[in-house]
Amino acid sequence: MFTVKPAGPPKSDISGGVLRTSPAFFGESSIAPIRRTQLPVFGSRVNRNGLIRAVISSGDKTLEAASTLEGKESNGSLLSSGGGIEVRAVVTVRKKMKETITEKVEDKWEFFVNGFGQGIVIQLISAEIDPVTNSGKSVQSSVRGWLTRPLNNSQIVEYAANFTVPNDFGCPGAILVTNLHGKEFYLLEIVIHGFDGGPIFFPANTWIHSRKDNSESRIIFKNQAYLPSQTPPGIKDLRNEDLLSIRGNGKGERKPHDRIYDYDLYNDLGNPDKDIDLARPVLGCEERPYPRRCRTGRPPTKSDPFSETRIEKPHPVYVPRDETFEEIKQDTFSTGRLKAVLHNLIPSIAATLSSSDISFKCFSDIDKLYNDGVILKDDENKNVVENLLLGRMVKQVMSVGQRLLKYETPAIIKRDRFAWLRDNEFSRQTLAGLNPVNIEILKEFPILSELDPAVYGPPESALTKELIEQELNGLSVEKAIEEKRLFILDYHDMLLPFIKKINSLPGRKSYASRTIFFYTKTGLLRPIAIELSLPPAPSSPQNKRVYTHGHDATMHWTWKLAKAHVCSNDAGVHQLVNHWLRTHACMEPYIIATHRQLSSMHPIYKLLHPHMRYTLEINALARQSLINGGGIIEACFSPGNYAMELSSAAYKSLWRFDMEALPADLLRRGMAVEDPSMPCGVRLVIEDYPYAADGLLIWSATQEWVENYVNHFYTQPNSVTSDLELQAWWNEIKNKGHYDKRNEPWWPKLNTKEDLSRILTSMIWIASGQHAAINFGQYPFGGYVPNRPTLTRRLIPQENDPDYEKFIHNPQHTFLSSLATQLQATKVMAVQDTLSTHSPDEEYLGQVNRLHSHWINDNEVLKLFKKFSARLEEIEEIINARNKDNRLRNRSGAGIPPYELLLPSSGPGVTGRGIPNSISI
C-alpha cells in the first residue's frame, strides 16, 4: 500500500516524450503555490443542487450514495483532524504540430488560462472508500502554473497542480479531468509525485472533450491492471461508469468529440440520393451476412430508408475520438491521397485528353510510368485542371514543370523485368506473393462443385484425369494425391454465381477459375492446367474450357491470357475477402467490443490496445472512398458493382473464427499436417512456403507471449469464467459484432486460460502478421499491371469469334487490351502505393511507443514483453538467413526478391517489410 510522505516530490522532466524525474522539482521557480478553489467536485455526476451521485456496485445490486459539498473542504478533500500534506501532479499536454494563426492565438490564451488555474480541473480519487460518501476519497485542484524549463519537444507542454492530501488518503487509483476550455485538448499523461514507492503514472493518450460539449468529466485510471474482481473499492464505481459512458445509448447522431462505440450494419456504401446506379444493398442480414461496423447514427437516405446518408470526402466519417489518425499519420495519408489524385490524371494525359479511356498499346507504355514519367503540354494542363476542379495546391504542383509524376519501379520487376512471364514465378507467388493464403492441397479427384447443378450445370470439373496425367511425368493422379504433390487454386464456386452479373457490366469479362499445380521432385511448384468456366448456356450446359501451357505460339498466348484471368480473380479475392473482410472488417467488432466491455484497467484491454490503433479510422475511410459504390475497388477490380456482395458471400460460406488461427488455416487447406514435435504443432507439406514458414515463427512467438501474459493474471482455476467483463466481451463479439454468425457451432468456448490464449493469439495475429503479409506487398507485386491485373475486359478469343483473327495477327494487343485501361491501372497503382506505405509513426510488433512507456505498472509483465521483443529480433535474423539460403528457391535466386513481408521491423515508406501492431492502413 502506498502511503503519503511529507517530503516534496522530485522535479519531472521530459526526455523523448517519456517523463523522468529530477531532484530539483521544488527548487525556486515562478510557479505560484496552488490554493484550494471554490469549484464543485467534478466527475461522478454533479446535480444542480451540488449533490454528487456516485454509482456503487455491491454484488448484483446498485446503490446510490449522495452527499452535499456543504461543510466540507472546498477542494473536495475529506481532511482528517491532523490536516494534510502536499503532493503535486504534473499534467503533460500535446499541442498540434501545425497551427493556423488563429489556433496559435487560441493556444497562447489557453496556455495563459491554464497557468492561472482557469482551464483544467483535476480530482484525485483514492483506491480506498470514504465512509461518508461510500465512494473513493477525493481531493481536487485546478491546474495552476506551467513548468517553464525548456523541453526537447516543442509540442509538449507541462502544467502543475498541487493537492493537500489527508494522511489517511491511501493510494490514488483514478483522476477525473474536467476541461473548462471551449475546445478539446490532447492529454498525454498525469504523474503524481509525493507518494511512497515513487511517482504514480496515469497514462492517458486521449482527447479531453470540452465541458461545453459534454458535462461529464473524463476518468483516467493509473497504470495498474486489475481484473474486475480485484478492482479497489474506491474506484469500482468509476470503472463501471467509464464503461457505461463508452457504450452510449444507441441513439442519435454521433458528434466528432464523442468516444462512443456501438454497432451498425454496412448500410452506408451506396448513395441512392445522388444516383440510383450508386444504390447498394445493405450488408448484415440473413441474405447478405457481414460483420458489424462502428455506428455513426447518420439519418437515412431519402431514396432508401434502410440506407444511411453518406458523408463524402474530404469531410470525415465519425469514429470515436481517440480512434482518429494522429497528425503525422494524417499528413502521410493526405500526401498519399494527393498523390493518388495526381496519378489519376496520367491516363487522360497519355490519351491526349481523349474523352474515352484507352488500353496500354504496348509494354513500353507501362514501362514509361517508371522510366520517363508523364510529360504535359501547358495548354493541356489548364484544361485538365479546370475540368477536374482540382484545388489550388494541385494546380501549383502541375504548373511547376512539364514532367509531372513518375512511379517507383515495383520490386517484382526491379530485379527481373521478365520474371512475371514465367510459369515458375506464377506459382511462386501463390506461396510467397501478395495472396499466399488460397492455395490448398488437392485432396480428392474428380473435382466436384458444391453449387446447385440445376442452376450452375453439372458439378464435374473439365479437368480430367487424362489431361492432368499428361503433365505428371508418368505419375498417376491417385499417386500424386497420395504423395501430396497436387495443389489447387480454386475460385470456381466462389465466383461462378457472380460471373453473369459481372460480365453484364461495361468493360468487364471474367471467368470462374481453377488452377492445378504439380509439386516436382526438384521442389518447384509448376502450374499444369487452368479451367475457366462461364455460367451454363442452352448451347453449352458445361461451359468450361481447359488451358495448358502448350508448345506452339497460339497456345503460348492463350495460356498467358488464362493466367491473367487467374491473376485477376486472385486479385479480387485477395482484396475483398482476404484483405478487407478477414482482417479489416472482422477486426472491427473485436475493437468495438473491447472498448465497450473491457475497462482500460483490464489486463486484456491493455494487451489488445496496441493492436487496435487506427483500424476504425482506416475502415471508415475505406467505406468512404474505396469499397463504396463507385469507389476505387468497384472501378478497378473485376467484380465491379458486385464487389461487396461477393465479400458478403465469402463471409457466409467460408469465414469462421476458429479457422483464422494460422496453424488451423494451414491444416484446413492441407498445406500442413499435425506434428506435435513442431513448435506450433504442425509441419508444412511444402517446406519452402515463405508465408507459412515465417508466419509460424511470428505465430509461435505471439502465442508464447500471450500465454505467459494470461497465466500471469489468471491464476485461479475459475478466474476466466468468473471474469464478468471478459465473458461479456466474448459474448458481445459473437452475438453483436458477428451477429449473423451468432448461432454457428464452431465458436470457441471461453472457459479456460488456454481458450483465452488461443482467442487472443488469433486476434493479434490477424491485426499484425496476417494483415502485414497481405497488405504491404500490394505495390511491390501489383504495381506492375501484367504481373497482377486487377480486372479483365475480354474473354479469351475462340476460333469462331470475330476477334480471333486480330488475336492471331497481334496477340500482344489482345493481351494488353484484356487488362485494365490506363486510367484503371494508374488509379489502382496509386491506391496500392498508398496502402503499401508505412507511416513515420508506425508502431511495430514487439515495440512500445515511447509515449506509452508507462502502459502497465507490472515488472513481471514488462520482463515477459522484453522476452517477446527479443524473440522477434531473433526471428528477423532467421528470416534474413532464410532469404540468403539458395536452397529456398521461392525466396532466393537470380532475380527473385527476398520474402520480407513478415520481417518484424521496417522504416517508413513502401519497403515491402514490417509488421505493424495494428491494421493501420
Distance CA 849, CA 188 (A): 12
Q: Considering only CA atoms, which of 261, 255, 192 is closest in space to residue 223?
A: 192
* Positive or negative torsion for Cα 414, 416, 417, 419: negative
321 neighbors 796 (Cβ within 8 angstroms): no
In degrees, rounded to 5, the angle at the alpha carbon of residue 511 between the alpha carbons of residues 564 and 691 is 55
Start-end of H helices in 296-377: 327-350, 363-371
With vertex at residue 881, the alpha carbon angle to CA 875 and CA 886, rounded to the nearest 5 degrees, is 145
Q: Which residues are catalytic?
A: 579, 584, 771, 775, 921
Q: Who's near 547: CB < 8 A, 6+ residues apart?
A: 529, 530, 531, 532, 555, 558, 559, 562, 796
Hey, which residues does 12 pair with through a beta bridge? 21
Cβ–Cβ under 8 Å, residues 795 and 881? no
> Is 668 within 8 Å of 413 (Cβ atoms)?
no
Which are the contacts of 459, defined by CB distance < 8 A and separation ≥ 6?
448, 449, 450, 451, 453
d(CA 380, CA 518): 53
Residue pair 150/195 in contact (Cβ under 8 Å)? The answer is no
Cβ(728)–Cβ(593) under 8 Å? no
Strand 52-58, strand 61-67: pairing = antiparallel
**Quick check: helix, strand or coil at residue 779?**
helix
**Amino acid found at 197:** G
Residue recorded with cell 507511416: 839
**Cβ-count burial 365-399 (b if 16+ within 10 Å, e if not):** bbebbbeeebebeeeebeeebeeeebeeebeeebe
d(CA 310, CA 301): 8
Contacts of 881 (CB under 8 A, 6+ apart): none
Residue 188 burial (10 A CB sphere; 0-12, 13-18, 19+): buried
